[in-house]
Amino acid sequence: MNKGPKYTKIHYGKFFLFSLMILFYTMHVEAQEDEYWNMGLGERAAEFGLGYEEHQVTTEDGYILTLMRVLPGPESSQVGGNQPILLSAPFGQAGESFATLDSIDSPAFYLPNEGMDTWLFNMRGSSLSREHETLDSHTDDEYWDFYLDSIRYDYMACVQFILDTTGFSTMPVFAMSFGAATFTTSLALEPEFFSSRISIAILAVPALNLGHTNTLLYAFLGDYPFVLESLRRAGINVLREDNPVISDILYRVSSFLEPLTFEIGGVFMGENAPSLLDPDGASFLAAKAQNGVGNRVMQHLFQSTRSNDLTYFDYGTEENLVVYGTETPPEIPLENINIPIALMFAEEDSTITEPDQQWAREKLADNVVFDHVYEGYSHIAFLGGVRTEDFLDDILEITEMYPATTANER
């Protein structure tokens, strides 16, 4: 008996709905079984016998930031000498992104387990650092009027707080990708402050210049700046926002469809070597470590795809003449930096490609004391890779050669 097209559509419709039910049930079961990823950072640190604290720090321009601290435990090694280190993540990522692996090999756990007092940076505008002394981030557009060079006030406040809290006079900083861009900019604009407080800056895949990036999303937003500016004018001041419901769905989907997630990430985010990413860690990073980033500072970062340089914010010719007195924005004076720098690059990095890596080397040449390309690493492998101990052991060696100091040691 021919039941016709209507019956066929109903039949396939029921099959589709049934398949969706099975898919979401499976993801639900997986998520329930994976209790580790539902823990807070402090709970996960405790799983490895480490301590955890949170602190509020206020910048000189009124932004109130959250600093996370993971402390060595009673069973931790003494290799790190209990010296403090500040970790700064890529754009849109929380400090928690340094804890994306369900093992001690996450940077936020590995370093304190080796005896380093490890602090995690959350810049202004991120979901954990969205308070201000006088401005409301929900209603005041002025709150979001900050750029790459504005973040120096965040670093200055956090570094001083850490030194005051720990009793050290100098300390190392590890900054990755966008974090490296904001920290390097800070070093250039406040050389006296940082040269007296930072023992060494360790910059991993520094996004100082994206002029040759092969990351589709970054290149698109750089080539078409009106996209982000249109969103800003429509009142969308923050992007890559953390939403618990959406984050949970993204995590379950990306975990369940793991190979597809990696392929999509490869196309849009420039991951050339997804096989080196830890599956659970990458899913957590993609979904649950998102922390939000200001629209203006994101525009500033992507302007280097067109300028092939690291400059102050480009407002356009007319406004540049008013703000800077020139048609184009001035360069960030990287020649002002006067502290030791360690450079870490990824062999399979489509975000910071070889020409842009070389640009960073040349601009920072007078300060570079360590320069290494990690074989097989992709851009995100420093956070969610399966061989994080490679560069983490290098951090321990570098900070032994350029250690944090106390007042008596200087």
Q: Assign 253 to helix, strand or coil.
A: helix
Tens digit of pLDDT for each residue in 106-149? 999 999 999 999 999 999 999 899 999 999 999 999 999 999 99
C-alpha to C-alpha distance for 173 and 182, rounded to whole angstroms: 12
**CA dihedral (376, 382, 387, 392) positive or negative:** positive
Of the ranges 257-261, 372-376, 391-395, which is most confident?
391-395
Model confidence at 249, pLDDT cuts 50, 70, 90, reads very low
Look at the block and give the residue holding tokens 């369940």. Answer: 256
The token pair that represents 33 in the structure block:
């079984």
Tens digit of pLDDT for each residue in 23-39? 444 444 344 445 766 78
More confident residue, 75 or 182: 182
Average pLDDT over all residues of the chain = 84
C-alpha to C-alpha distance for 170 and 154, rounded to whole angstroms: 17
pLDDT given for residue 279 in this prediction: 54
For the chain, which residues make up each domain, given as ranges? Answer: 39-401
Give yes or no for residue 58 having a pLDDT over 50. Answer: yes
Q: What does DSSP assign to residue 103? A: S
Tens digit of pLDDT for each residue in 285-311? 554 556 778 999 999 999 999 999 999
| 139: nearest Cα among 149, 148, 129, 130 | 130
| CATH code matching the domain that covers 39-401, chosen among 3.40.50.300, 3.30.470.10, 1.20.120.330, 3.40.50.1820 | 3.40.50.1820
> What's at 359, amino acid-wise?
W
pTM of the model: 0.85
**CA dihedral (237, 291, 348, 175) positive or negative:** positive
Give yes or no for residue 80 having a pLDDT over 80. Answer: no
Give yes or no for residue 362 having a pLDDT over 60. Answer: yes
Beta pairing partners, 340: none
> What's at 172, amino acid-wise?
P
The token pair that represents 277 in the structure block:
């990413």
pLDDT given for residue 257 in this prediction: 45
In three-state form (DSSP H/G/I as H, E/B as E, the rest C), the secondary structure along 213-227 is CCCHHHHHHHHCCHH
Count of positions (residues) in the chain = 410
Model confidence at 241, pLDDT cuts 50, 70, 90, reads low
| 352: nearest Cα among 179, 202, 215 | 215
With a CB cutoff of 8 Å and minimum separation 6, the contacts of 137 are 125, 130, 131, 143, 144, 238
